[in-house]
Chains A and B, each alone.
Chain A
Amino acid sequence: MRERRRVGRPLQLLAGVLVAALAFAIVAQWRQDEREDFSGVRGAELGELLKSLDASNQRLARQIEELSATRDELRDSSANSEQAEEAARKRAAELAILAGTSPAAGPGIAVELSGPEDAVTAAILLDSVEELRDAGAEVIAINGTARVVAQTYFLDDRDGVRVGGSLLEPPYVIEAIGDPHTMAEAVRFRGGLADRVEDRGGTVTVEQRDRVAITALADIPEPQYARPAS
């Protein structure tokens, strides 16, 4: 018993020391784990980590490539469609002017034809329109109500001239957008329109204007028989 006690004392101390060492180690390890690094990781595990990182890196790089390719494609196509839309809009505006479905304004002339009943006939009006077109008129309207387009016809009527469905009475004022000087010359040249009207006892006055606004629209029905053929 005495010997047991003598041996027991250092052993108890040793047990205390061991517990202290355990506590110390736990604290040390605890602090170690709070450091976020890889110093405690085995080589093989590091290798695995590296490999998986490499793999995900490659995967992500591939994804980046695909996505940026898609983005470029989309950007291109949207730019293309924007351009196409812009071009189509421009073309539609030009065609609207040609077809007479849109008002137009610009430099031009106003030609007034007046005189006795038979001085200005449908034929004279048609000739004057042709003359103006020859001189580069882009938009033509008569008396501010009849827009002259491809389908417009000229027909003598009792009280005047029927132009594209609407009856016009003298005096006739032909407004045309184009180069004012050229068109004025085309009306006035010797033996031309002005001379012909004046031979019949009418008068022709030509006025060049910086700005002619034509708001009359042509009333064009949908084509009933003709279809675009390609």
Chain B
Amino acid sequence: MIPIIGLVVGIVAGFILQPTVPAPLEPYVPIAIIAALDAVVGAVRALGEKRFDDRVFVISFVSNVLIAAAMVYLGDQLGVGSQLSTGVIVVLGIRIFSNAAAIRRQVFHA
């Protein structure tokens, strides 16, 4: 329940405050969003398997975001920023897809 409230609050706040992403964070925000989405989809899957844990969710969320941002930062420093972001997005995308597939199997049994 609380996460859904959070989701709504976040969207509303985003529309009301009309934030702009600060320039230094610009390369990291998209990757961080994908990483966080990965954590959220994983959490939904765990919820469906009735083994959801707040602690695991919070830690995986934060660590996902941090690691993704760190990789992009490292990539930028090494001069392979765009390639590494692509790689991170591919990996996270694969994870999101597999988790989504698991959720689908639970919900539709297909």
Q: Are the CB atoms of A13 and B79 closer together than 8 Å?
A: no
Tell which of B13, B21, B55 touches A11, judged by Cβ atoms closer than 8 Å: B55
Count, chain B residues at interface, CB 8 A: 37
Q: Are the CB atoms of A28 and B58 closer together than 8 Å?
A: no
Q: Are the CB atoms of B15 and A25 closer together than 8 Å?
A: no
Tell which of A12, A24, A42 touches B82, judged by Cβ atoms closer than 8 Å: A42
Which secondary structure dominates where chain A touches chain B? Answer: helix
B103 beta carbon closer than 8 Å to chain A: no
A22 beta carbon closer than 8 Å to chain B: yes
Q: Are the CB atoms of A24 and B14 closer together than 8 Å?
A: yes
Q: Are the CB atoms of A15 and B7 closer together than 8 Å?
A: no
Q: Are the CB atoms of A14 and B58 closer together than 8 Å?
A: yes
> Bound complex: CA of A19 vs CA of B23, how far in Å?
23
Give the contacts of A1-51 with B (CB-CB under 8 A). Answer: 7-8, 11-29, 31-32, 39-40, 42, 44-45
Q: Are the CB atoms of A18 and B23 closer together than 8 Å?
A: no
> 1/0 contact trace for B32-48 toward A, CB 8 Å?
11001100100100000
Q: Are the CB atoms of A20 and B9 closer together than 8 Å?
A: yes
- CB-nearest residue of chain A to B85: A42
Q: Are the CB atoms of B6 and A28 closer together than 8 Å?
A: no
Q: Are the CB atoms of A21 and B18 closer together than 8 Å?
A: no
Tell which of A21, A23, A31, A40 touches B26, judged by Cβ atoms closer than 8 Å: A40
Residues of chain A within 8 A of B79, CB atoms compared: 44
Q: Are the CB atoms of A23 and B7 closer together than 8 Å?
A: yes
Q: Are the CB atoms of A28 and B21 closer together than 8 Å?
A: yes
> 1/0 contact trace for B5-25 toward A, CB 8 Å?
111111101110011110100
Which of B23, B26, B43, B54 neighbours the largest number of chain A CB atoms within 10 Å of its CB? Answer: B54
Q: Are the CB atoms of A19 and B20 closer together than 8 Å?
A: no
Q: Are the CB atoms of B23 and A15 closer together than 8 Å?
A: no
Q: Are the CB atoms of A11 and B26 closer together than 8 Å?
A: no
Q: Are the CB atoms of A29 and B30 closer together than 8 Å?
A: yes
- CB-nearest residue of chain A to B81: A42
Q: Are the CB atoms of B2 and A15 closer together than 8 Å?
A: yes
Q: Are the CB atoms of A44 and B10 closer together than 8 Å?
A: no
> Bound complex: CA of A16 vs CA of B8, how far in Å?
10
- CB-nearest residue of chain A to B8: A23
Which of A13, A17, A24, A42 neighbours the largest number of chain B CB atoms within 10 Å of its CB? Answer: A24
Residues of chain A within 8 A of B36, CB atoms compared: 18, 22, 25
User: A15-B57, A18-B57, A19-B7 known; 20 other A-B pairs, CB under 8 Å?
Assistant: A11-B58, A13-B2, A15-B54, A15-B61, A18-B58, A19-B10, A22-B7, A23-B10, A25-B14, A25-B29, A26-B10, A27-B15, A31-B14, A31-B19, A32-B29, A39-B23, A42-B76, A44-B81, A44-B82, A45-B82
List 8 contacting pairs A-B, 8 Å CB cutoff, sorted by A: A15-B54, A15-B61, A20-B6, A23-B11, A24-B13, A25-B36, A39-B26, A40-B21
Partner-A contacts on B (CB < 8 A) = 2-3, 5-11, 13-15, 18-21, 23, 26-27, 29-30, 32-33, 36-37, 40, 43, 54-55, 57-58, 61-62, 76, 79, 81-82
Partner-B contacts on A (CB < 8 A) = 7-8, 11-29, 31-32, 39-40, 42, 44-45
